Chain A
Amino acid sequence: MTWDVALILGIDGLANGAVYLLAGLGLVLIFSVTRVVFVPFGDVAAFAALTLAAFETNRLPPTIGLVLTLAVLALLTEVGSLIRRGEHRQIPKALLLWGVLPAVPCLLAWLAARAGVPASLQIAATVLLVVPIAPLLARVVYQPIADASVLVLLIVSLALHFLLSGLGLLFFGPEGSRTAPLASGSLALGDGFTVSGQVMLMVASAIVLSGLFFLVFERTVAGKALRATAVNRVGARLVGIRPARTAMLAYGSASLLAGLIGVLIAPVTTMYYDSGFIIGLKAFVAAIIGGLVSYPMTAIGAIAVGLVESFASFWSGALKDVIVFSLLIPVLMLRSFLTPHADEDEEEVDQ
Chain B
Amino acid sequence: MKSLMTKTLTRCAVAMAVLAATASAALAADLKVGLSVSLSGPNSSLGVPYSKGMAAAQSYKGEINGRKVQLVVLDDGSDPTTAGRNARKLIEEEKCDVIMGTSGVPAAIAMAQVAKETKTPMIGLTPIALDPADNPWVVTVAQPTQLMVDAVVERMKRNNVKTVGYIGFTDAWGDLVYDALNKATAKAGIKVVSNERYARADASVTGQVLKIVALKPDAVMTGGAGTPGALPFLALQERGYKGGIYGQHGLINPDFVRVAGASGQGALMPTGPIIVAEQLPDEYPTKKIGLDFRSAFQKVNNAPTSDAFSAYSFDGWMVFADAAARAKGEPGTPEFRASLRDAIFSTKEVVGVHGVYSFKPGNLYGVDERARVIVKLDNGQWKLAP
Please list the residues of chain A having a beta carbon within 8 angstroms of any beta carbon in chain B.
2, 5, 8-9, 12, 16, 169, 174-178, 196, 265, 268-270, 272, 274-275, 278-279, 310-315, 317-318, 320-321
B45 sits at the interface (CB 8 A): yes
Q: At the interface with chain A, which of B5-13, B200-208, B368-376?
A: B200-208
Q: Which residue of B lies closest to A12 (CB)?
A: B206
Judge whether B203 and A8 touch: CB under 8 Å. no
A314 near B227 with CB under 8 A, answer: no
Given A174-B45, A176-B259, verify A313-B204 contact (CB < 8 Å): yes
Task: List A contacts of B211 (CB < 8 A).
Answer: 314
Q: How far is the CA of A272 from the CA of B230 in the complex (A)?
A: 13
Check B154 for interface membership: any CB of A closer than 8 A: no
Cβ 8 A contact of A318, one of B197, B226, B238, B258: B197
Whether the Cβ atoms of A5 and B214 lie closer than 8 Å is yes
B208 near A317 with CB under 8 A, answer yes
Contact B210 A278 (CB under 8 A): no
- Assess whether B197 is in contact with A8, with CB atoms less than 8 Å apart: no
7 additional A-B pairs beyond A2-B214, A176-B259, beta carbons within 8 Å, are: A278-B201, A312-B207, A313-B198, A313-B205, A313-B206, A318-B197, A320-B198
B227 touches A176 (CB 8 A): yes
Closest Cβ neighbor of A169 among chain B residues: B42
CA distance A268 to B263 in the complex (A): 13
Query: Which chain B residues border A272 with CB–CB below 8 Å?
Result: 201, 227
Jot down 23 A-B pairs with beta carbons below 8 A, ordered by A. A2-B214, A5-B210, A8-B206, A16-B204, A169-B42, A174-B45, A175-B226, A175-B227, A176-B255, A270-B259, A275-B203, A278-B203, A310-B204, A310-B207, A313-B204, A313-B206, A314-B207, A314-B210, A317-B170, A317-B197, A318-B197, A320-B199, A320-B207
Smallest CB separation, A250 vs chain B (Å): 27
Name the prevailing secondary structure of the B interface residues: helix
Tell me, in angstroms, the Cα distance from A320 to B207 when the chains sit together.
10
Cα distance, A320 to B208, chains bound together (Å): 10
A48 CB to nearest B CB, Å: 15
Chain B contacts with A in 249-290, Cβ cutoff 8 A = 255, 258-259, 261
Minimum C-beta distance from B147 to chain A (A):
27
Q: Which residues of A contact B76 (CB under 8 A)?
A: none
- Docked pose: A8 CA to B214 CA in angstroms: 12
Q: Does B196 contact A (CB under 8 A)?
A: yes
Please name all residues of chain A whose beta carbon is closer than 8 Å to the beta carbon of B355 when the two chains form the complex.
Answer: none
Report whether A12 and B207 are in contact in the complex, using a CB–CB cutoff of 8 Å. yes
Given A317-B196, A317-B197, A317-B198 in contact, is the A177-B259 Cβ separation under 8 Å? Answer: yes
B206 & A270 in contact (Cβ 8 Å cutoff): no
Most chain B Cβ neighbours within 10 Å, of A275, A278, A311, A317 = A317
